[in-house]
Chain A
Amino acid sequence: MTDERTLAPFGRRAAAVTWRARYGAYVVLGCADTGGPRPQAGQFYMLSAAERWGGGEGERPFLPRAFSVLRAPAGSPELEFLVEDVGPGTKRLAELREGDEVLLTGPLGVGFTPPRETRRPLLVGGGVGIAPLAILQDQLFPNAVPLLGFRDGAHAAGAELLIGARIATDDGSAGHHGLVSELLEAELARDSDVEVYACGPPAMLEAVRRECERRGVPAQLALESGMACGFGACFGCVVATRGGYLRLCLEGPVIDANQLAEVSAPEKQPAGATPANR
C-alpha cells in the first residue's frame, strides 16, 4: 500500500456521540469529530468511552479499541463506527447514548487504494468486518456490489448499511445458506477481472486470500489484531507476513494479499475469550 495516509492530529481528543442506531446485533455510533481530518476508506481510530473506562476503579476496559471507520460523510464532522458487543470494551461503547463522549485518536493506518489496471472492485465482508466496505462504497465505488457473510439473521441486519449487498448466512436465515467465500467463488468463476477488497474474521479472509491466489486476482485485505496503542508504540499487533512481522497499525490495517502466506489461524479466538481487542 502507498504511504499517502491521512495524518492524525497528535493526541487523543473528545467527540460527542450525536446519534446511535441498532442494526440487529450491531450498534452504529455517530459522533461529531470537529478536531480531526476526514479519514480515508480503510483507516481506523482508537476509541474509548470518556467515562467508566480504565478509571479509578481499575477495571477493564483499560485500553482503547481499534475500529475501522464505517462512514465519514463529506462536508460534516461526523464519524460513524460499527460496534458489536463481544467483550468489556465493545460492551461499554455499545451502551453509549447521544450526549455521551468518546475519546478517539485517528485516523490511523493506511487504507484501501484504487484497483490495478481496469479491474472492477469487488467487496467482500464478514460480520463486523463489513464496516470499512461502507466508507469504501461511499468514497470510491458507489456501484460495487458487496458480498457479505453473517452468522445469522440478527447479524445480517448489518447488510442494510451497504447498498445492494448479496448475503450469505451460516444458518441460512437470510440469503445464501453457507459461506460468503462461496459467493466469491461463484462471482470469480463468472468474471475474474476484478480486484477484491475484503474485511472480516481470519477464517473468512484466509478463504478469500486462497481463492484470489488460485485465480490470480489481486486482493486488499483489512485485517484485525489486538492493539494497545494504534500508532506503532506497543509492537503488540504484529501479523506474520512473507517478509516477517509487520505492525498492523502502521503498515496496515489494509495489507495486499500477496504479502501474506496465510491469514493467521484463528485458534486464538475461542468463544468466550475477551482478548485486548474486544
Chain B
Amino acid sequence: MLDFCGIALEHPIINGSGTFDAIAARRAFGDALLESFPFAAFVTKTVTVAPREGNPPPRLWEVAGGLINSIGLPNKGLHGFLAEDLPELAELPVPLIVNVMGFSRDEVAELVDAFTERDEVAALELNVSCPNVETGLVMGADPGEVAALLERVTPLTGKPLIVKLTPNAGDVPAVARAAEAAGASALSLINTLRGMALDPGTGQPWLGATTGGVSGPAVRAIALAQVYAVARAVEIPIVGMGGVQTPTDALNLLRAGADLVAVGTESFRDPAAGRRVAEGLGTIVANRT
C-alpha cells in the first residue's frame, strides 16, 4: 500500500477525470468491472452546481496519436450527483475522488462544502483548467486567481484538495507554487491542451464548440516536461498524466516527479488499460529491487 495525502492506495495508477465512467462501465461489463477494477482510486467526471447537458455534437476528432474532445462537462449537477451517482460510486472497491468545478468562488465553495460532509468521498479535485468552458481557463491560468480560490475553500474542508492544473497557462510552475502556498494538498497535471480541427469539406470548425482539448500520446512529451518542472517547484504530491499508454510511460512520469499516474485516453482504446499499466509497472519495480 502507498499513501497519498493520507489515503491508502494499492498501486499508483488512477484515472484522469472524465475518461472513465464507472457507472456506465458497470452497465456494459457488469460486476466483472468491480472484480478487476483498473484503478487504485476513482476520479469522477467533473461535477458542477447546476446540471449541464454538454456541448453540441460533434464532440470528437481523431488526430495523429490522440484526439480532440469538446464534451462540455455534461453532468447531473450537485443534487443529481448526490442522489443518483454517489450511492453507486460508493460501491466501487477503491477510494473515491470527486472532481468539482464552479463558475465562481462561491460555487466552488458550495461544492466543497457539500462533499466535505460525505464520508464516501476520500478527496476532492478542483477543476480550474477545463479548456472547454471559458471561465475554467481564467481560474487556472493565473497564480493570483488560484490562490484566492484556495484561500476561500481550504478552510471549509478537512479532505485533501487536489488542484488540477491547466497546461494552457503562461507559467505553470508559478500557478503550482501559488496553489501550494494557499493550501492545496496535491496537484494533478496535465489537463488537455486547447486545439481545434477544421471540417475538410467546408473549412469551418469541426467541433460543435469550435475548439476542444487534445489528449493522448500526442501530448505525452508536454506532460513529462510540465510534471518535471512542477515537481521542482513544489513539495506537495503530484498526480502526473498525459498520453500514458504503457508501464514505461507511467514510470517516466514517476521518474519526473509524480507520486501517482493517471491513465486517461488510453482507457478509450482499452477499458482495462489502467490495470495493464499498473501490473506492468509493478513488474518493472519488482525486477529492480
Question: Is A24 an interface residue, CB under 8 A from the partner?
Answer: no
Once the chains bind, are A273 and B199 in contact (CB under 8 Å)? yes
Contacts A236-B60, A250-B27 hold; do A273 and B200 have CB atoms under 8 A apart?
A: yes
**A275-B58 contact, Cβ under 8 Å, with A54-B269, A58-B218:** yes
| CB<8 Å pairs between A and B, sample of 26 | A10-B271, A11-B36, A12-B269, A54-B65, A54-B217, A58-B217, A58-B218, A60-B63, A61-B62, A62-B216, A62-B269, A105-B271, A228-B69, A228-B268, A231-B24, A231-B28, A232-B25, A233-B267, A233-B271, A235-B21, A235-B59, A238-B54, A238-B59, A268-B199, A268-B206, A274-B200
A137 within 8 A of B: no
List chain B residues, Cβ under 8 A from A261.
none
A8 to B32, CA, bound (A): 9
A108 to B32, CA, bound (A): 14
Least distance between B34 CB and chain A CB atoms (Å): 9
Instruction: Give the Cβ gap from B242 to chain A, nearest Cβ, in Å.
Output: 14
Chain A, interface SS category: loop
Q: Which residues of A lie under 8 Å from residue B275 when comparing CB positions? A: 11
- The reply to whether B29 and A8 contact each other, CB–CB distance below 8 Å, is yes
Known interface pairs A11-B270, A238-B54, A273-B200; A58-B65 also in contact (CB < 8 Å): yes
Chain A residues whose C-beta falls within 8 Å of the C-beta of B30 in the assembled complex: 7
Q: Answer yes or no: A178 CB below 8 A from chain B CBs.
A: no
Report the bound CA distance from A48 to B270 in whole Å: 10
Contact A275 B28 (CB under 8 A): no
Chain B residues contacting A5 (CB-CB under 8 Å) are: 27-28
Residues of A close to B54: CB separation below 8 A: 235, 238, 245
Is B64 in the interface zone, CB < 8 Å from A?
Answer: yes
Tell me if A236 and B21 are in contact (CB < 8 A): no
Q: How far is the CB of A244 from chain B (nearest CB, A)?
A: 6
Q: How far is the CB of B199 from chain A (nearest CB, A)?
A: 6
Task: Tell me which residues across on chain A come within 8 A of B58, comparing CB atoms.
Answer: 226, 268, 275
Residue in B24, B32, B60, B199 whose CB lies within 8 Å of A228: B60
Q: Are A233 and B201 in contact (CB under 8 A)?
A: no
A160 at the interface (CB under 8 A from B): no
Contact indicator A225/B28 (Cβ below 8 Å): no
Q: Does A270 contact B (CB under 8 A)?
A: yes
- Taken together as a complex, chains A and B put the C-alpha atoms of A11 and B271 apart, in Å, by 5
- The answer to whether A234 and B69 have CB atoms under 8 Å apart is yes
Q: CA A54 – CA B273 in complex, angstroms?
A: 14
B211 CB to nearest chain A CB (Å): 15
**Distance of A275 Cα from B30 Cα, bound (Å):** 30
B53-80 toward A: CB 8 Å interface, digit per residue (1/0)?
Answer: 1100111111111110101001000000
Q: A7-B29, A10-B25, A228-B268 are in contact. List 4 more A-B contacts (CB 8 A).
A: A11-B271, A235-B21, A237-B60, A238-B57
A275 to B74, CA, bound (A): 22
Contact A12 B200, beta carbon cutoff 8 Å:
no
Whether, in the assembled complex, A114 has its beta carbon less than 8 Å from a beta carbon of chain B, the answer is no
The listed residue with most B CB atoms (<10 A of its CB), out of A232, A240, A250, is A232
Scan residues 242-278 of chain A and give those whose CB is less than 8 A from a CB of chain B: 244-245, 247, 250, 264, 268, 270-276
Please tell me which one of the listed residues A108, A229, A237, A274 contacts residue B267 in the complex, with CB atoms under 8 A apart.
A229
A61 contact set on B, CB distance < 8 A: 62
> B19 within 8 Å of A by Cβ?
yes
B207 to chain A: closest CB distance in Å? 10
